Homo-oligomer: A and B are copies of this chain.
Amino acid sequence: MLERRNGIDLPSDCQGSGAVLARIGDKWSVLVLLADGPMRFNELKRKIAGISQRMLTRTLRGLERDGLVTRTVYGTIPPRVDYALTCLGHSLRTPVEALGLWAIAHLPAIEQARQAFDLRGKKELGA
């Protein structure tokens, strides 16, 4: 994604950051990540409350593909499928939770900055 061109490179950690953010930056992945303990499909769907069946399937497939969750199918009727975090998936929770803590701490400041910014925009229009 980030090609090195004409000599100037971004800090090396950008490569990874970009890929990881593409993975967890989507609308639902983090929520799945934070829903811990092995869970069945509809259990997750209920817990996440708002996700569509389609998006939950897609999100879980993506996480499974990246080795962040395991998918265990029991050949029973009715079918039962369990999803659980892998070791790798669990380890990702640490930095993600750090981000969550930052969000809790600073979201009010962000909201405030937004209002101030939008207000300035309005005034310029009026002037």
Contact = CB atoms under 8 A, between A and B. Distances in A.
A73 interface: no
A91 interface: yes
Contacts of A27: 18
Interface size class of chain A, counting residues whose CB lies under 8 Å from the partner chain:
35 or more
14 contacts: A2-B50, A2-B100, A3-B36, A6-B49, A8-B49, A9-B49, A17-B103, A20-B102, A65-B118, A67-B112, A88-B106, A88-B113, A94-B102, A95-B102
Contact of A113 (B3, B67, B114): B67
A113 B65 contact: yes
Interface string A5-25: 111111111111111110111
A122 interface: no
B34 A107 contact: no
Interface of A: 2-3, 5-21, 23-27, 30-31, 34-37, 46-50, 64-68, 88, 91-92, 94-104, 106-107, 109-110, 112-114, 116-118
Given A6-B49, A67-B112, A30 B34 contact: no
